[in-house]
Amino acid sequence: MLQLTINGASQTVDAPPDMPLLWALRDILGLTGTKYGCGVGVCGACTLHLDGVAVRSCQLPLSAAVGKTITTIEGLATNGELHPLQQAWIEADVPQCGYCQVGQLMSAAALLAKTARPSDAEIDAAMNDNICRCGTYQRIRVAIKQAADATEARR
């Protein structure tokens, strides 16, 4: 039995310690928002936050997640209010098939938490390992900037 802190709640997981967090979330805890895309850490679909840092959950054994703060897409909105990025994603009509977008959002959220107004180069660097097979990159860039603007306006 492993004890995990996911989206602010303590969860007990009956799974081997080498199981990647991705599969414990999806198959055992029923948190299917985090997606399986490649299983080898090269597509970014499974991105979530571990202590606020964007990580690939397909490469993260459960043992390495114990004692850390895990935030998944299900926990990105707070107090019933969408994260500015989620709002921007909806308004800028970013998704096509949508499958990669959870990972894109989690990478973008980690970026904005660190860099309030990222430059194009900073966006390219932070988002480089999140593949979108539908080609929504242009709108992702627009939405990140829109969310940065909205966040600043709120301050």
Partner 1 sequence: MKPISRRRFLKLGAGTSLVLGVYLTGCANESLLQAIPTPPPPAPAPIPSPVPSPAAAAPTAPPMPAPSAPAPTPAPTGPAFAPSAWLAIDTNGVATITVGKPDMGQGVRTALAMLLAEELELDWQNVRVEQAPADRRFGNQMVAGSASMRQLYGPLRQAGASALAMLLAAAAQQLQVDAASLKAEKGIISHAASGRSLRYGELVPVARTLPVPASAPLKAAEHFRLIGKPTPRVDNAAVATGQAIYGMDVRLPTMRYAVVARPPSFGSQVASFNADSAKAVPGVTDVVQIGSGVAVVASNTWAAFKGREALQITWQAGPYGQLDSAAIAESLRAGVSEPAAASAAQLVEASYDLPYLAHAPMEPMNCVADVRADSCELWVGTQSPGGAQAAAARMLGLPAERVTVNVTLLGGGFGRRADTDFVEEAVAISQAVGAPVKLVWSRADDMQHGSFRPISHHRLRGGLDGQGNVVAWSHRIATPGIGGMGGQMAASNARLPYSIRADVDAATVPQPVPTWFWRAVFSSQNGFVNESFLDELAAAANRDPFTVRRDLAQSPRLRTVLELAAEKAGWGAALPAGQGRGIAAHVEYGSFAAVVAEVRVDGGAVRVQRVVVAVDCGVAVNPLSIAAQVEGCVADGVSTTLKSAITIAGGQVQQTSFADYGWLRIGEMPVVETHLVPSSEEPGGIGELVYPAVPPALANAIFAASDRRVRRLPVRAEDL
Q: Which residues bind partner 1 (CB under 8 A)?
A: 15-16, 19-20, 23, 26-40, 42-43, 45, 72-74, 76-77, 80-82, 85-87, 89-102, 105, 123-125, 127-142, 146
Q: Which is nearer to partner 1, 33 or 68 (CB)?
A: 33
Q: Residue ranges of the alpha helices (H) in 3-61? A: 21-23
Angle, to 10 degrees, between the axis of helix 137-154 and the axis of helix 120-127? Answer: 120
CB of 77 to partner 1, least distance (A): 6
Q: Which is nearer to partner 1, 69 or 131 (CB)?
A: 131
8 A C-beta contact, residue 71 and residue 81: no
CB of 17 to partner 1, least distance (A): 12
CB of 76 to partner 1, least distance (A): 8
Q: Mention every residue, 6+ apart, whose C-beta is less than 8 A from residue 72.
A: 6, 7, 25, 31, 33, 34, 48, 49, 106
CB of 49 to partner 1, least distance (A): 13
8 A C-beta contact, residue 99 and residue 45: yes
